[in-house]
Structure 1
Amino acid sequence: MILGVRRILRLCECEQIRGAGGVEENPGGAKRRMPKLRIPAKIWNNQKVKNQPADDQLDCTQQQEEQLEETQPEERLEEVSRRLILREEDLFGKDSHCEEEEDQLQQDFEGLSVQIWMAIHESFSPLTSSAEALESLRSAVTSILQQEVQDQRWRDSPKEQVPVWRPQRWFSTHNQLLQKMVESRLSRAVEENSRETDQLSSVVKKQVRCMGKRVEEDLLIVVRKLKGCYPAKVDILNVYAGLYHRTFSARLAELTSSGLETDDCSYLLFWVNHYYPQEILKHKELDGQIKTACLGSLLLKDALTQLEEQYLTHRQEKVNLWLNAILMKEQESWLSENAPELIDSYYFSPLAIDVIQLINGSLTEFNQTIKNRNKLVRITVHLENFFSSYKKCLEDFMKGNHSNTHSVVKAQLVCEQQLSEYLSRQTEGLSEELRRRCLDSLAALRDCGYRYFTCPLQDQIKVRLSQLWTPVWVDGSLPVVDLLLDFLNQQLVDITDLKPTCRQSLLCVLYHDVVLQYVKKMMKMKMRSKKQQGAGAQRMNEDAQKLDCFFKEEGCAETSWLCEMLCILAEILRLQDPASIQLEIVNLARSFPDLSGAHVSELLSLKTGLSAADVRSIRQSVEENRLLVDSTNHSPQFFSRIKVKWINNKINQIGLKT
């Protein structure tokens, strides 16, 4: 019986040789013919069909089906198995039996085993899809399990009473045969090398894809057809999944043992970490049925770590190289003295889109190649240096005398906005610390661009606001703010070709600068009488409304707090009652936490009617009612840009101590 099993396994290994005529070459070179086995006509015909030219297979298959319809149905394998078991029990239940009967029974068992193993071996044959072939497979499986039960019945019997062929261990042989089949099918998959792999650039990629697709196709055949031929307790899907997993894993280990090119390394990692576990094992027809936790990774941890490190090192260098190339290309376009491209009537640069596409592409590839998400920072680590270099390059360019500086800066402000929005949304691959540093670099670049447009206006703004708190301004005969807004309206024509959202942000900065100059001028006013301060406060309210209306029309709706602040300052000037002044200043300090004690002293110095005790009380109340630091993080910054005299700061410190 053991010789019979070995012969079957040998037959399965030599399937293709048998189809070519049954001749095999032995290692010594001499040819010998395989022993002829008793194979059912149906299975033998299937083998002949497989070895005929492809053009003739269809006709041959049709002829075979017609022949099968004409013949009587063969006895099912499970019935033969059951009958042989009965003969065995009857024969060995006697006190003595004929040796010839025992030999004949053993031969019949061997004949049955040949038919069973051939039925198993044909599991993935195209002909197995027929109902008759599937029934034959089911019957073969039932026979194997019957023989397993019979093995157990003889287990405790005295050795001299047990048939020589027991235990047969057909289920173990079945699993060995499946292992041979899986190995053979993966080998043939590589040899066949389907047309789908023609576009792949290397032998390694073709081998990985061929084997991987064969695993996918065969597991789907198992779940669709073969699974129904096995009882649930066998769990044949997981049996095959384990065999294919281990065999595929061993083949991949062979491929990686001698080292891989970086491109092949990336492709193999894609299969190991993404396609195999996500697309094959979690295929909609397989998901939830395969015990993936028991399979583990296709590669051992050390081999996988080595490949991932090779990939990450290469990818990190590539990202850095590509970022530098993007910046260099951008610099070359600046120095060409040509204006950037106009899109939708505003200047545009491709730098931001190139960077975003590079990072997105790298992150997408990473997610399909590397399992450990913590290693994503290896891809984005160069962003901080890139943005810092980007800012420095723009600053250096702006220092030169170039005819296209205006248009270049406008295009870079658009890039900054696109990149900042991208980094703010991007939650993957960026630590909070790295994100903050990158955004800080971009904010510095943006401020640099804003200063380019606002700095030339600063002197003109100061000149036009110099008439504030003069008698002609107080009595309304000199419309200082109206004249300033007319001037700004003329200057803003120069930024009509700036992207609208960037233009709005720039105008918000300009609005902030105008109000800053306005408040600085107010703190230096010389009018001390109640009447003058009351009239000045009224004029401040009017100016605040004019400024707010002008900049709102330009899209600066988010800076209305500047108008509110001017109105609070105007109210402080108008009020004369110490308690009322105290309430307004406390309100101002809570709304603008950067209002320092020195600023409070500067404001109080404008109020001539306050006693020293009133001043100390107000300052103390302001300090006691300030908001906690944690609650002021999102408060607008304004007064920190207004410097107060050193002597006022010193007086403020002394006053708080007394």
Structure 2
Amino acid sequence: MKEDLTVVAKYIKQLYPPEFNVFGIYAELYHNYFASEAKKNAESHLEDKDIYLLLSWVHNFYPKQNVGGRCLDKEIQTWKEDKEPEKLNGHFQSELLGIFVIQSIYSGQKRAEDISKAVGEELSHRLLKDLPAFLRSYRDAFEDFKEKSKKHRYYKPILIANINCCWNFRQHIIVWMMVPSSASQQAIVEKIHARLVKEYIVRLLKRKVSLKTPAQQQALAQHISKNAADLEAFCTTNGSQAKWLNSALPKLAEIIRLQDLGAIKIEVATLATTYPDIRKRHLEAFLHIKANLSRSELKSILGYLADSTASTQPRAPLFSNINVS
């Protein structure tokens, strides 16, 4: 609380007019929450062992919630030194990030679970909120190093060490966050699944590719189909049951592959039936890829889509979340 209020006093308070009394509001909210929690604890009947474990957890673990931030600061300093990264088992690796952060968080969660299942679950939820912020900071710092330090004597070894760190974080995040709750794992993976499909579609709608020959279009269609199969296999293997997403990319690939106008219209109709939130603007941007379509053919296809999606509401949004410039 002291650290948070110090941040409010130093940085946040000055962003608001004095009459907003920002510091006072923050302090009151913290006090009210602390008081309510203290009251609940005072009203509960805990055994001596439970009290000891709770105090031990608060004293030993809670101050280390920011261990990742402190380690990251130290790691960034090592990048600036004229020193080659350490090797672990023959591979460049950051002991500070790759081992210490992971072990600290893992051991803290184990201690929380030793107190009670509820405390362990609560900590897992907190880590789900805090860990992404740390990973974003790590990513931003690493991207900054990659752009500004290309002349560093040990540029490539540092890149390799951090790539290995990213792999370690990925593996352990799956173990901490996803194993305890299969329902949480499925929900997370399905969100990732939807995001990957959406981002792939966004790339296809950028109007950056325009192919004039059927052979070129067929090659692109095969490439998209392979990517779609790999994406589906990855997400399904990791627990996604969002099967409604799986046909989006293959159907778009088929539209690229087909050359007969009637067959293209049929495929567009099935796409619109499966994803009724697709609109003219989406299809027009996508058909930019098929540069051998005449203006009349393009107009015919777009008109067909408008009729088939006029009154249908989507079961789950996909295209409606995609803006087309």
Give the TM-score normalised by structure 2: 0.51
1:567 aligns with 2:250: yes
**For residue 584 of structure 1, what is the aligned residue in structure 2?**
267
* Offset at residue 451 of structure 1 (A): 6.8
Letter in 2 for 1:516: K
Query: Can you list the C-alpha shifts for 1:623-652, whole angstroms capped at 9, x where unaligned?
Result: 1111634xx25x12112232211xxxxxxx
Q: 2:172 aligns with which of 469, 472, 493?
A: 493
**For residue 533 of structure 1, what is the aligned residue in structure 2?**
217
| Distance in 2 (alpha carbons) for counterparts of 1:599 and 1:560 | 22
Letter in 2 for 1:613: S
The answer to whether the 8 A contact 1:568-1:588 is kept is yes
**For residue 237 of structure 2, what is the aligned residue in structure 1?**
553
Q: 1:408 aligns with which of 117, 126, 137?
A: 126
| Distance in 1 (alpha carbons) for counterparts of 2:38 and 2:193 | 32
**For residue 523 of structure 1, what is the aligned residue in structure 2?**
205
Letter in 2 for 1:568: K
Show the 5 A alignment for 1:229-240: none
Q: Go from structure 1 to structure 2 and tell me whether the alpha carbon gap of 1:458 and 1:542 turns closer, same or farther (over 3 Å shift).
A: farther
Q: Go from structure 1 to structure 2 and tell me whether the alpha carbon gap of 1:554 and 1:579 turns closer, same or farther (over 3 Å shift).
A: same
Counterpart secondary structure, 1:496: helix
1:513 aligns with 2:231: no
* Offset at residue 534 of structure 1 (A): 0.4
Letter in 1 for 2:174: I
Counterpart secondary structure, 2:246: helix
| Distance in 1 (alpha carbons) for counterparts of 2:233 and 2:243 | 9
Query: Can you list the C-alpha shifts for 1:44-82, whole angstroms capped at 9, x where unaligned?
Result: xxxxxxxxxxxxxxxxxxxxxxxxxxxxxxxxxxxxxxx
The answer to whether the 8 A contact 2:210-2:291 is kept is no
* Offset at residue 588 of structure 1 (A): 1.6
The answer to whether the 8 A contact 2:222-2:253 is kept is yes
The answer to whether the 8 A contact 1:590-1:627 is kept is no
* Offset at residue 325 of structure 1 (A): 3.2
| Distance in 2 (alpha carbons) for counterparts of 1:457 and 1:596 | 38
* Offset at residue 616 of structure 1 (A): 1.6
The answer to whether the 8 A contact 2:255-2:267 is kept is yes
Q: Go from structure 1 to structure 2 and tell me whether the alpha carbon gap of 1:570 and 1:618 turns closer, same or farther (over 3 Å shift).
A: same
Letter in 2 for 1:614: E
Q: Go from structure 1 to structure 2 and tell me whether the alpha carbon gap of 1:571 and 1:616 turns closer, same or farther (over 3 Å shift).
A: same
| Distance in 1 (alpha carbons) for counterparts of 2:293 and 2:260 | 9
Q: Go from structure 1 to structure 2 and tell me whether the alpha carbon gap of 1:628 and 1:552 turns closer, same or farther (over 3 Å shift).
A: same
Q: Which runs of 5+ in 1 are unaligned?
A: 1-320, 350-403, 413-448, 460-486, 646-658
Q: Go from structure 1 to structure 2 and tell me whether the alpha carbon gap of 1:583 and 1:643 turns closer, same or farther (over 3 Å shift).
A: same
* Offset at residue 601 of structure 1 (A): 0.9
**For residue 641 of structure 1, what is the aligned residue in structure 2?**
321
Q: Go from structure 1 to structure 2 and tell me whether the alpha carbon gap of 1:610 and 1:500 turns closer, same or farther (over 3 Å shift).
A: same
| Distance in 1 (alpha carbons) for counterparts of 2:139 and 2:273 | 29
Show the 5 A alignment for 1:48-59: none
Letter in 2 for 1:583: I
| Distance in 1 (alpha carbons) for counterparts of 2:254 and 2:138 | 29
Query: Can you list the C-alpha shifts for 1:117-175, whole angstroms capped at 9, x where unaligned?
Result: xxxxxxxxxxxxxxxxxxxxxxxxxxxxxxxxxxxxxxxxxxxxxxxxxxxxxxxxxxx
Q: Go from structure 1 to structure 2 and tell me whether the alpha carbon gap of 1:336 and 1:555 turns closer, same or farther (over 3 Å shift).
A: same
Q: Go from structure 1 to structure 2 and tell me whether the alpha carbon gap of 1:346 and 1:329 turns closer, same or farther (over 3 Å shift).
A: closer
| Distance in 1 (alpha carbons) for counterparts of 2:168 and 2:252 | 26
The answer to whether the 8 A contact 2:279-2:305 is kept is no
**For residue 621 of structure 1, what is the aligned residue in structure 2?**
304
* Offset at residue 567 of structure 1 (A): 0.6
Q: Which runs of 5+ in 2 are unaligned?
A: 1-31, 42-57, 66-107, 141-165
Q: Go from structure 1 to structure 2 and tell me whether the alpha carbon gap of 1:501 and 1:328 turns closer, same or farther (over 3 Å shift).
A: farther
| Distance in 1 (alpha carbons) for counterparts of 2:282 and 2:319 | 8
| Distance in 2 (alpha carbons) for counterparts of 1:458 and 1:591 | 37
The answer to whether the 8 A contact 1:511-1:551 is kept is yes
**For residue 542 of structure 1, what is the aligned residue in structure 2?**
226
| Distance in 2 (alpha carbons) for counterparts of 1:520 and 1:344 | 42
Q: How many residues align?
A: 199
> Taking every aligned residue pair, what percent have the same amino acid on both sides?
23
* Offset at residue 347 of structure 1 (A): 4.2
**For residue 147 of structure 1, what is the aligned residue in structure 2?**
none
| Distance in 2 (alpha carbons) for counterparts of 1:458 and 1:582 | 44
Give the TM-score normalised by structure 1: 0.27
Counterpart secondary structure, 1:571: helix
* Offset at residue 592 of structure 1 (A): 1.6
**For residue 51 of structure 2, what is the aligned residue in structure 1?**
none
* Offset at residue 326 of structure 1 (A): 5.8
**For residue 476 of structure 1, what is the aligned residue in structure 2?**
none
Give me the CA root mean square deviation. Answer: 4.0
Q: Go from structure 1 to structure 2 and tell me whether the alpha carbon gap of 1:642 and 1:488 turns closer, same or farther (over 3 Å shift).
A: farther
The answer to whether the 8 A contact 2:221-2:253 is kept is yes
The answer to whether the 8 A contact 1:544-1:567 is kept is yes
Q: Go from structure 1 to structure 2 and tell me whether the alpha carbon gap of 1:530 and 1:495 turns closer, same or farther (over 3 Å shift).
A: same
| Distance in 2 (alpha carbons) for counterparts of 1:509 and 1:616 | 35
Show the 5 A alignment for 1:100-139: none
The answer to whether the 8 A contact 2:221-2:254 is kept is yes
The answer to whether the 8 A contact 2:272-2:278 is kept is yes
Q: Go from structure 1 to structure 2 and tell me whether the alpha carbon gap of 1:540 and 1:450 turns closer, same or farther (over 3 Å shift).
A: farther
| Distance in 2 (alpha carbons) for counterparts of 1:575 and 1:451 | 42
**Greater RCO (CA < 8 Å, at least 6 residues apart):** 2
* Offset at residue 345 of structure 1 (A): 12
Letter in 2 for 1:509: K
| Distance in 2 (alpha carbons) for counterparts of 1:547 and 1:457 | 26
| Distance in 2 (alpha carbons) for counterparts of 1:327 and 1:599 | 55
Counterpart secondary structure, 1:605: helix
Letter in 1 for 2:187: S
Bigger-Rg structure (1/2): 1
* Offset at residue 337 of structure 1 (A): 4.5
Show the 5 A alignment for 1:35-54: none
| Distance in 2 (alpha carbons) for counterparts of 1:504 and 1:548 | 14
Q: Go from structure 1 to structure 2 and tell me whether the alpha carbon gap of 1:500 and 1:593 turns closer, same or farther (over 3 Å shift).
A: same
The answer to whether the 8 A contact 2:205-2:324 is kept is no
